[in-house]
């Protein structure tokens, strides 16, 4: 008979050697840097064009996001429909996204179709017209979508807490209104496009089964374009003065969206990697203190999480949950109780080992396939870090002590430093 009470021997994940497969780097004739990871068994490619064209660069709200959105909606030669049809016909997915520092065009495709697709991506970068008609449709539909979103307490809470943390004028804190959409002018978008895409700063990332002539291909389509080296604009953070806020968005709402957050430095700060371990213990996974207490013990919520925001210049430590309307205050009390325990009691050996193993297993599982490997590299490169960051993070997970974690909790998990918001 087997002893079912006895766990099989477990190999500690902290003993694993984790390696981040290195990238190849080359530079196109015009100075554009390309990072490429050749991996995976499937004949697929992920190609990404990253422009320094994020929200930080705009002088007026929504100009960056709207320009980015309209990239796919018409060029000198093609209508939005024709563009979509071309990418669809080759079974590819063309997406664009606008972030704070950067804005991207992303292409997922089978490797064998890449030659059919790159010329059209070039056209999006050189010859988009951002049609006025498309802008009108976009304004109308986005205003409608915003109206629906504003009914959701989690959406409202997410906007407000960022505004408290960074200020409404900061790219990380500003949010959109119907008036902002109405105020968009076609010429502003065209100016933004000319400055930040046609002649902007471009970095490229490619992952998957790389064609042998990749460098030549990219040089053909992107190596002759007049890109430049535009820096990302910096804006000063302005903290809100009011720290505790309660808002009723929907008087009939059954749940409250709770956000508790404090400012936190970026990835270059010596505490950042250690804080990732403390965060995991606190609210970063299913077995975390917050989850065990507030979901698994009390049943106040379907889920509660804490995390460090993924920002380049300045981050924040955030606790986020949706809880029953009448247990919101009780849930908040428990969050502070868990902070207090972390400040006062060093984490015991078993729990710390569990967190180490969980985090290592997570990284191991996350390095699955070329797209994930590239995502890690991209994060490192865009944050102006190098591979040392990856290996430091692993060493931190392996070696951080209970005392260091406690000291970190004492330094950062202080209720007075946190903004606290409930939106019902």
Residues 105-124 that bind another protein (CB under 8 A): 108-110
Q: Which of 159, 198, 233, 298 binds another protein (CB under 8 A)?
A: 298
Question: 68 or 100: whose CB is closer to another protein?
Answer: 68
| Eight-state DSSP code of residue 312 | S
Count residues binding another protein (CB under 8 A).
Answer: 75
Q: Does residue number 77 form part of the binding site for another protein (CB under 8 A)?
A: no
Do 424 and 153 meet the contact criterion of CB atoms below 8 Å apart? yes
Do 190 and 93 meet the contact criterion of CB atoms below 8 Å apart? no
Minimal distance, residue 238 CB to another protein, in Å: 31
Question: 239 or 302: whose CB is closer to another protein?
Answer: 302
Do 185 and 15 meet the contact criterion of CB atoms below 8 Å apart? no
Q: Which of 182, 296, 348, 386 binds another protein (CB under 8 A)?
A: 296
Do 153 and 250 meet the contact criterion of CB atoms below 8 Å apart? yes
> Angle between the 272-279 and 349-366 helix axes, to the nearest 10 degrees?
110
Residue 106 vs residues 6, 121, 228: alpha-carbon distances, Å: 48, 10, 21
Convert residues 126-155 into a mask of x (bound to another protein by CB under 8 A) and - (unbound).
-----------x--xx--xx-xx-xxxx--
Please choose, from the candidates 11, 35, 15, 65, the residue with its C-alpha nearest in 3D space to the C-alpha of residue 373. 35
Q: Which of residues 266-285 bind another protein (CB under 8 A)?
A: 285
Cα separation of 387 and 325, whole Å?
A: 45
Please choose, from the candidates 8, 18, 7, 9, the residue with its C-alpha nearest in 3D space to the C-alpha of residue 361. 18
Minimal distance, residue 246 CB to another protein, in Å: 17
Q: Which two tokens stand for residue 184?
A: 């968009």
Torsion sign (Cα): 328, 329, 333, 336: positive
Question: 19 or 310: whose CB is closer to another protein?
Answer: 19
Minimal distance, residue 385 CB to another protein, in Å: 24
Question: 158 or 200: whose CB is closer to another protein?
Answer: 158
Q: Which of 324, 336, 352, 379 binds another protein (CB under 8 A)?
A: 324
Q: Which of residues 353-372 bind another protein (CB under 8 A)?
A: 353-355, 357-358, 360-362, 364-365, 368-369, 371
Q: Does residue number 47 form part of the binding site for another protein (CB under 8 A)?
A: no
Q: Which of 180, 255, 279, 293 binds another protein (CB under 8 A)?
A: 255
Minimal distance, residue 133 CB to another protein, in Å: 9
Q: Which of residues 211-250 bind another protein (CB under 8 A)?
A: 250
List, edge to edge, every strand of the sheet that includes 315-324. 244-247, 419-423, 255-264, 315-324, 301-308
Q: How would you classify the pairing of strands 301-308 and 255-264?
A: unpaired
Minimal distance, residue 169 CB to another protein, in Å: 28
């Amino acid at each position: 008979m087997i002893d079912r009470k006895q766990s099989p021997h477990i190999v500690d994940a902290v003993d694993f050697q984790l390696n981040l497969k290195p990238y190849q780097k080359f530079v196109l004739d015009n100075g554009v840097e390309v990072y490429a990871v050749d991996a995976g068994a499937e004949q697929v490619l992920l190609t990404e064009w990253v422009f320094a064209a994020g929200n930080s660069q705009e002088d007026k709200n929504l100009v960056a996001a709207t320009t980015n959105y309209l990239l796919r909606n018409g060029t000198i030669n093609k209508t939005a429909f024709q563009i979509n049809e071309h990418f669809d016909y080759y079974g590819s997915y063309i997406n664009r996204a606008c972030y704070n520092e950067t804005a991207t065009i992303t292409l997922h495709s089978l490797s064998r179709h890449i030659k059919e697709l790159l010329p059209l991506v070039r056209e999006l970068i050189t010859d988009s017209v951002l049609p006025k008609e498309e802008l009108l449709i976009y304004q109308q539909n986005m205003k409608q979508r915003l109206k629906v979103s504003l009914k959701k307490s989690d959406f409202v809470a997410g906007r407000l807490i960022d505004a408290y943390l960074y200020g409404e004028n900061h790219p990380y804190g500003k949010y959109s209104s119907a008036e902002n959409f109405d105020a968009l002018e076609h010429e502003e978008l065209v100016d933004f496009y000319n400055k930040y895409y046609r002649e902007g700063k471009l970095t490229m990332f490619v992952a998957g089964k790389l064609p042998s002539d990749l460098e030549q291909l990219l040089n053909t389509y992107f190596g002759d374009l007049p890109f430049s080296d535009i820096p990302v604009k910096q804006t000063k953070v302005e903290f809100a003065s009011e720290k505790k806020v309660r808002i009723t968005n929907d008087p009939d709402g059954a749940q409250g969206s709770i956000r508790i957050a404090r400012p936190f430095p970026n990835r270059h700060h010596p505490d950042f990697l250690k804080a990732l371990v403390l965060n995991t213990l606190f609210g970063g996974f299913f077995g975390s203190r917050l989850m065990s207490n507030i979901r698994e013990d009390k049943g106040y919520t379907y889920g509660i999480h804490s995390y460090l925001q993924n920002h380049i210049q300045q981050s924040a430590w955030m606790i986020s949950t949706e809880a029953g309307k009448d247990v919101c205050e009780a849930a908040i009390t428990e969050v502070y109780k868990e902070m207090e325990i972390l400040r006062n009691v060093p984490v015991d050996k078993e729990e710390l080992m569990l967190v180490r193993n969980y985090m290592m297993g997570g990284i191991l599982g996350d390095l699955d396939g070329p797209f994930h490997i590239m995502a890690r590299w991209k994060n490192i490169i865009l944050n102006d870090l190098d591979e040392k960051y990856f290996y430091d993070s692993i060493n931190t997970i392996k070696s951080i002590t209970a005392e260091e974690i406690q000291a970190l909790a004492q330094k950062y998990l202080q209720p007075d430093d946190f903004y606290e918001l409930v939106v019902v």
